[in-house]
């Protein structure tokens, strides 16, 4: 894990060896009760690196389980503008230009506001049953211009189907439902998740 220091705190960046000339940068946000380490344990970061992508997973503010302490001030997690600014700062610090953003569950508090405010800074978006989708309007989603892959589990009748109703308003969106999977569908069906993700990334220009 690499520690990235900010002026107002620090957070863990968990990353697998980057390739010399990456096809794209892909940044992963974690769900509640997890941290960036989960994407490494799942083999996702290594798989993407093997396929030529720069794969990075970060800890969200207040979720820094690796250090055992709160990273950035936790209020950033509750102020919408602060969440957008946090991701913008992460992209700047890591030198990311138009990465693909992968966001599961609780991290929707960060990714959805960022998508609607600064979506042009992304090459693509992969929401996995994120929270907070109902806080915004159909018109806002219809203005999103980037390719979006919506992934959710068949058995996730809560956030999965709820977020789908909002996210499918994005014009360039497609949906992958992982059969037999629950809310953390990428953990229940990792092979199917990885296949869908790699197919989507391979189509981005």
Catalytic (active-site) positions: 105, 156, 183
Q: Kind and range of the H or E element at 194?
A: helix 190-203
Are the C-beta atoms of residues 132 and 105 closer than 8 Å to each other? no
Long-range CB contact pairs, 85-88, < 8 A, 24+: 86/61, 86/110, 87/111, 87/114, 87/118, 88/114, 88/118, 88/121
Residue 53: exposure state from Cβ atoms within 10 A (0-12, 13-18, ≥19): buried
C-alpha 83/C-alpha 63 separation (Å) is 14
Facing residues of 70 across strands?
A: none
Beta strands per DSSP E along 59-205? 100-104, 124-128, 148-153, 173-178
Query: In terms of Cα–Cα distance, which of 93, 88, 92, 94 is closest to 110?
Result: 88
């Amino acid at each position: 894990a690499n520690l990235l220091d900010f002026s107002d705190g620090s957070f863990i960046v968990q990353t697998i060896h980057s390739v010399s000339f990456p096809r794209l940068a892909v940044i992963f946000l974690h769900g509640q009760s997890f941290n960036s380490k989960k994407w490494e344990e799942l083999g996702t970061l290594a798989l993407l690196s093997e396929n030529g992508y720069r794969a990075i997973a970060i800890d969200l503010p207040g979720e820094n389980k690796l250090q055992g302490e709160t990273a950035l001030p936790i209020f950033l997690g509750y102020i919408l503008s602060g969440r957008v600014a946090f991701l913008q700062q992460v992209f700047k610090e890591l030198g990311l230009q138009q990465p693909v953003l992968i966001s599961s569950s609780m991290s929707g508090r960060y990714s959805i506001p960022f998508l609607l405010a600064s979506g042009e800074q992304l090459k693509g978006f992969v929401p996995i049953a994120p929270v907070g989708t109902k806080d915004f309007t159909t018109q806002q989603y219809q203005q999103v211009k980037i390719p979006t892959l919506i992934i959710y589990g068949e058995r996730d009748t809560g956030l999965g189907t709820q977020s789908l109703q909002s996210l499918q308003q994005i014009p360039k969106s497609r949906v992958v439902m992982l059969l037999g999977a629950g809310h953390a569908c990428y953990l229940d069906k990792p092979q199917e998740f990885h296949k869908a993700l790699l197919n989507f990334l391979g189509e981005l220009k």
